[in-house]
Amino acid sequence: MSNTSRNALVLGASGGLGQAVVAKFLTDPKIDNVIAVSRNPQTEDLSAQWISNSRLIWIEIEDYTEQAMAEVVAQLDDYKGRLCRVAICHGLLHTDHIWPEKRMEDIDGAAMQEIFHANVVVPATWLKLLQKVIAGKLQCRIAVFSARVGSTGDNRLGGWYAYRASKAALNSMLKSFSIEYGRRAKNVKIMAFHPGTTDTDLSKPFQASVPKEQLFAPAFVAEQLVTIMDGLEMDGQLSFLDWNNKPIAW
């Protein structure tokens, strides 16, 4: 690994947005390699002829336990101090047995724990483990997928208790991480990113009520994200921004 190489890391890369971010990073000639991590293998979409497979390193992870995540981070040792972009794309809103709560009676403890693990514990564990790999002289911008519904100030409708609370908790965790990274890895900038309603499996059940012009293609969101990341000021502060680069109230 060259001392001057610049590399990007995408975590939770097999989802619709994760794949789009991987593809976008691969179009950047200033990025030498893109490392993608997911529980699923590389998709056919990312095997297209226009993508240089020699620059894409795909790592499959068995599950998102801390031990498995630590094993992945150990594989990144060759990229120590050479990561310039990190996108943490994990997110869980619903499954075949979990659905956003419409009223307080719908709250289920087990479902809430599953959502909090995916939306808070997993991103926080990545940030904990990656510090030793990211710290260095090369500027590294980290985007963590959050959501506008995680804004306490913007909550006007209620409901969606677990998802709202998990994203609010994520934002709080990211604030603390930004403070500690600011002391221990001054080359790092962290952003909580709201992608808007994107045409992926996460939003599919709710798209009928979304105006067509407000339902975004993953490629568009990835383009917006990368543009925003490129322009982030390295100020050591946490930013909470939407797809249009507008700040969101905490």
- Note whether residue 250 is domain-resident: no
Strands (E), 156-216: 188-194, 197-198, 215-216
Residue span of the structural domain in which 23 resides: 7-242
| Residue 204, token pair as written in the block | 């599919």
Give the CATH number, domain containing residue 43: 3.40.50.720
User: For the chain, give me the number of helices (H) and strands (E)?
Assistant: 6, 9
pLDDT, tens digit, for every residue of 38-72?
Answer: 998 876 665 554 455 689 999 999 999 999 999 99
Is the CB of residue 163 less than 8 Å from the CB of residue 100?
Answer: yes
What percent of the chain lies above the pLDDT cut of 90?
A: 76
- Note whether residue 248 is domain-resident: no
Q: What is the DSSP letter of 7?
A: E
pLDDT, tens digit, for every residue of 169-211?
Answer: 999 999 999 999 999 999 999 999 999 877 666 555 555 555 6
Give Cβ neighbours of residue 136 (< 8 Å, ≥ 6 apart).
80, 81, 82, 185, 187
Name which of 132, 121, 166 is nearest 147 in CA terms. 166
Please report the pLDDT score of residue 196 as a whole number.
Answer: 82
Look at the chain and report how many structural domains it folds into. Answer: 1
User: How many Cβ atoms from other residues are within 10 Å of residue 95's Cβ?
Assistant: 11
- Note whether residue 98 is domain-resident: yes
- Note whether residue 247 is domain-resident: no
- Note whether residue 2 is domain-resident: no
pLDDT, tens digit, for every residue of 146-158?
Answer: 999 999 998 989 9
CA-based R_g, the chain, Å: 17
Place of tokens 């030793």: 132
Give Cβ neighbours of residue 154 (< 8 Å, ≥ 6 apart).
148, 248, 249
Q: How much is the pTM?
A: 0.91
Residue 6's φ and ψ, nearest 5 degrees, are: -125, 125
pLDDT, tens digit, for every residue of 101-114?
Answer: 999 999 999 999 99
- Note whether residue 1 is domain-resident: no
Amino acid letter at 153? G
Name which of 70, 13, 79 is nearest 41 in CA terms. 13
- Note whether residue 212 is domain-resident: yes
Please report the pLDDT score of residue 94 as a whole number.
Answer: 82
